[in-house]
């Protein structure tokens, strides 16, 4: 099997065509006021369920979708999903992401967090010891709260030389690596861990509420 840094694994798992996701417990009305695009880098379906529960229409799009094509779908917000591999192999996704930043609210999860960070000009590196398992303590620097998180990643965003406006919002208490980012001037935040709790602790589903609040504020 090729190493993560030798192959673009996202291209092998991403959907080939956009599709509306019909499942969920709410948001069945196609006239829902929020239309969220999920860029499929290897997504988990509970992410889609979390959005539908919050009354969103959800469209899943290929990871390689150009930025202008994303905006042409008139999204209320865009979520970049988790997925496999080295973010350094994904220049085409990073370039497309750069085209939409600041123009629509954005949330990134795990690999999506790394893609958005790279699009903003941050660097990434391979961890000496990858984060695997359902019990990683993460500190929210805004209020000091500690959350137990599920993680499965071997790369991290570098906290050094972050671009202007981008700040670390969460850190891993085991090794002090970056677990979340926020932007001071753009409607954007990202997290390194799995907020969708499938599997894993449900402590972090509130982050989807924060994303929806950001979308609503941007539309107001």
Q: List, by residue number, the catalytic residues.
A: 110, 194, 196
d(CA 94, CA 81): 13
* Chain CA centroid to CA 133, Å: 19
Instruction: Collapse the DSSP code of 44 into the 3-class scheme (helix H, G, I; strand E, B; otherwise coil) and give the result.
Output: coil
Measure Cα distances from 76 to 68, 103, 146 in Å: 14, 10, 30
The gap from C-alpha 139 to its chain's centroid, in whole angstroms, comes to: 18
Sign of CA dihedral 174, 175, 176, 177: negative
Q: Which residues pair with 78 in a beta bridge?
A: 37, 106
Which residues, in sequence order, are CB contacts of 40 under 8 Å at separation 6+?
13, 14, 15, 60, 61, 62, 63, 81, 83
Helices marked H in the chain — which ranges?
10-13, 45-53, 67-72, 91-98, 111-120, 206-219
Assign residue 145 a region (left: φ > 0; alpha: ψ between -120 and 50; beta: otherwise): beta
DSSP annotation of 181 reads E
């Amino acid at each position: 099997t090729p190493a993560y840094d030798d192959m673009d694994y996202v291209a092998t798992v991403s959907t080939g065509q956009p599709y509306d996701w019909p499942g969920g417990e709410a948001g069945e009305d196609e006239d829902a006021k929020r239309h969220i695009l999920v860029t499929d880098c290897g997504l988990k379906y509970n992410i889609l369920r979390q959005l539908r529960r919050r009354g969103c229409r959800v469209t899943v799009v290929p990871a390689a979708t150009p930025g202008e094509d994303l905006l042409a779908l008139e999204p209320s917000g865009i979520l970049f999903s988790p997925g496999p591999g080295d973010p350094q192999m994904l220049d085409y996704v990073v370039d497309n992401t750069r085209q939409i930043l600041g123009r629509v609210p954005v949330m990134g999860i795990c690999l999506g967090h790394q893609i958005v960070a790279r699009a903003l000009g941050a660097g990434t590196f391979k961890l000496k010891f990858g984060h695997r398992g359902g019990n990683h303590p993460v500190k929210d620097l805004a209020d000091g709260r500690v959350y137990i998180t599920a993680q499965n990643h071997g790369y991290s965003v570098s906290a050094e030389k972050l671009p202007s406006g981008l700040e670390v919002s969460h850190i891993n208490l085991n090794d002090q690596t970056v677990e979340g980012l926020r932007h001071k001037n753009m409607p954007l935040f990202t997290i390194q861990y799995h907020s969708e709790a499938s599997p894993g602790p449900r402590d972090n589903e509130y982050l989807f509420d924060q994303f929806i609040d950001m979308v609503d504020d941007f539309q107001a």
